[in-house]
Structure 1
Amino acid sequence: MTGPSAGGLPMAVALPGLPARVRIHEVGARDGLQNEKSVVPTEVKAEFIHRLAGAGLTTIEATSFVHPKWVPQLADAERLFPLLGDLPDIALPVLVPNARGLERALALGARRVAVFGSATESFARANLNRSVAGSLAMFAPVVARARAEGLHVRGYLSMCFGDPWEGAVPVARVAEVAKELLDLGCDELSLGDTIGVATPGHVAALLTELTGRGVAVDAIGVHFHDTYGQALANTLVALQHGVTTVDASAGGLGGCPFAKSATGNLATEDLVWMLDGLGIDTGVDLGRLTATSRWLAGRLGRPSPSRTVRALSPEQAQSPSSEE
């Protein structure tokens, strides 16, 4: 059989030792769009998020309250967030780089925030213009204030597997910074393979190191980029180690504007295809999700890079859809 089974879904065949359910932390509207050269209209972003929610995603990262100078694509955070008020049952995390960003998020009623740190000195300087220790010191009052306000706080840790300036990053170093970030009071830690160089053994080694230092596996999420085609293999290893939160970007959009070798995130459709095939519940309707990515590809004027979107939408390999 050369194509998908009836209904456009894989046959479900479980593997032992995997979780029954995975929560997908959808990052397409923030991480996916932040590197787009042309500014995406606020109304398109809002509809994108509504369509993602309609496909069954329950955690959708909405935007970032970073200074517009640094990420012009997300300069409309104050206009966008109120347009999502009719999604009360959807978690809508926002990135807050500093105390000012947190104040802006609080003013709009955000209930979930994230800070973005680095495991390496080079990227901390490039992204935050300060050392790793200096960035943690900056985050400390932000996390404390957010927790005092009753907010859920996620800590992103970038460059966990490799750095374009420093090369391979020692596992012990990453675990040390990760533990410090959690000790600030973060509820959750997302391990970022920012330039996509991780391989399964490396992922296993880092997760083993973290749990050996007392980090609860249910506080860990993984955020893989597919630069070398390793994102799904790395995700499977993370699942085998008990991780149940996986970051992904609808249509495989995204990259990092401060790390030039970073390419697209793991495509949410590719992730859902694998999880459906393993019999793991996500609550996501793959057909509706694929249609959403086709719709956005039409708005962006190019085909989706997701392999699953392309496989289920062969016509899009020729021209992006403008499907309504």
Structure 2
Amino acid sequence: MLWPKQVKIVEVGPRDGLQAERGAMLSVAARVKLIDLLSESGLQSLEAGSFVSSKSIPAMANSEDVFDKIQKKPGVDYAFLVPNFKGFEIAQHHGIKSISVFTAASEAFCQRNTKCSIQESFERFSEFIPLAKAQGMRVRGYVSCIFRCPYEGYIQPQKVVQVAETLLDMGCDEIAFGDTIGVGTPQDVIALLERATFPKEKMAMHFHDTYGMAIANITVSLEKGIHIFDASLSGLGGCPYAEGASGNVATEDVIYLLNGLGVDHGVNMNKLMEASAYIDGLLSRKSGSKVALALQGGCV
């Protein structure tokens, strides 16, 4: 099997992980320290926060202060989720060079999560993506519910591809396909990637591990030529639609897989474990990473 020689890990713990983690009301200083620890691990892409309403997602309050205070390591991409023009203005004012936008392949999910239709989300983005690109910003597009929706059920792969293509046409540099409720299997991944005909370097896969399929899904994605994957240290995050279920795939587990396959990723596992231990201690939580638990227990 010919795997990609190199893979990019997009660490989403400081945003997607913390915002879904119960009780994760961390101070700006704590979030800054977490991001600084992750920067030292060799990760080249960090999702550091978002400019959503603090009333809607209190865990992401004061994200602009987080950006101002982190030690910005050369070569590391610090991205912030921007839901609307107001969020873009905040990013612009603080000199942020990498932003993300978020929509869904499910109409019902989009309405409940962002209080607008899929088309209306495109209209929102059209107000600022051209400005962002003109100013040299990098723009990432998220498409959630790529396999199934908690409200609509099965999502047709062609619908997912159509949403992704619209985001690319609007100027997004990269599309992250999100299995929001973590129900996908390798066959679902194959069905989607066979329909997505745009360049592989513009695709990223974002798997949740609710049913324990994330590593299998990453493996088949690698086989299909994907080389960008989202992951969250210590498996930070959750699935609000499945009580007690795990959320994001753990970065440690993804690194272990890549090490076993001989795929370069540039991440130092020991440094990553330091960051994981820090956040787990702050949140008084058990690690969501099987690899971290094994290493902590002395398994080699």
Q: TM-score range by the shorter chain?
A: over 0.9
Q: Deviations over 1:100-145 (max 9, x none)?
A: 0010011111000000011010111011111111111111122111
Report the residue type matching 1:284 in the other structure: V
Report the residue type matching 2:100 in the other structure: A
Q: Does 1:25 align with 2:39?
A: no
Distance in structure 2 (CA, Å) of the matches to 1:80 and 1:152 = 19
Q: Deviations over 1:57-90 (max 9, x none)?
A: 1111110011111111111212211112442331
Maintained 8 Å contact 1:58/1:89:
yes
Give the deviation of 1:256 after TM superposition: 5.5
Give the match's secondary structure for 1:62: strand
Report the residue type matching 1:31 in the other structure: D
Unpaired runs of at least 5, structure 1: 1-15, 316-324
> What root-mean-square deviation, in Å, do the aligned CA atoms of Structure 1 and Structure 2 show?
1.4
Selected match of 1:117 from 103, 110, 113: 103
Maintained 8 Å contact 1:31/1:254:
yes
Selected match of 2:39 from 31, 53, 56: 53
Distance in structure 2 (CA, Å) of the matches to 1:200 and 1:141 = 37
Maintained 8 Å contact 2:180/2:207:
yes
Aligned-pair identity in percent equals 42
> 2:22 maps to which residue?
37
Distance in structure 2 (CA, Å) of the matches to 1:97 and 1:271 = 28
> 1:271 maps to which residue?
254
Report the residue type matching 2:74 in the other structure: P
Q: Does 1:284 align with 2:267?
A: yes
Report the residue type matching 2:226 in the other structure: V
Give the match's secondary structure for 2:237: coil
- The TM-score, its normalising length taken from structure 2, stands at 0.95
Q: Deviations over 1:136-184 (max 9, x none)?
A: 1111122111111110000000000110011110111111111111111
Selected match of 2:52 from 49, 61, 66: 66
Maintained 8 Å contact 1:195/1:263:
no
> 1:12 maps to which residue?
none
Maintained 8 Å contact 2:33/2:70:
no
> 1:237 maps to which residue?
220
Provide closer, same or farther for how the CA distance between residues 113 and 280 of structure 1 changes in structure 2, counting only shifts above 3 A: same
How does 1:72-221 map onto structure 2 within 5 Å? 72-211=58-197, 215-221=198-204
Give the match's secondary structure for 2:151: coil
Distance in structure 2 (CA, Å) of the matches to 1:41 and 1:312 = 29
Distance in structure 2 (CA, Å) of the matches to 1:235 and 1:36 = 23
Q: Deviations over 1:35-76 (max 9, x none)?
A: 233311211111111111111111111100111111111112
Report the residue type matching 1:76 in the other structure: N
Distance in structure 2 (CA, Å) of the matches to 1:36 and 1:236 = 26
Unpaired runs of at least 5, structure 2: none
> 1:250 maps to which residue?
233
Give the deviation of 1:31 after TM superposition: 0.6
Of the two, which has the highest radius of gyration?
Answer: 1
Report the residue type matching 2:6 in the other structure: R
Q: Does 1:297 align with 2:283?
A: no
Distance in structure 1 (CA, Å) of the matches to 2:63 and 2:171 = 25
Give the deviation of 1:260 after TM superposition: 5.5
Distance in structure 1 (CA, Å) of the matches to 2:177 and 2:209 = 14
Distance in structure 1 (CA, Å) of the matches to 2:216 and 2:42 = 24
Maintained 8 Å contact 2:13/2:232:
yes
How does 1:9-24 map onto structure 2 within 5 Å? 16-24=1-9
Give the match's secondary structure for 1:61: strand
Give the match's secondary structure for 2:19: coil
Report the residue type matching 2:176 in the other structure: S
Distance in structure 2 (CA, Å) of the matches to 1:202 and 1:153 = 26
Distance in structure 1 (CA, Å) of the matches to 2:135 and 2:124 = 18
Distance in structure 1 (CA, Å) of the matches to 2:297 and 2:27 = 27
Report the residue type matching 1:51 in the other structure: L
Distance in structure 2 (CA, Å) of the matches to 1:296 and 1:246 = 21
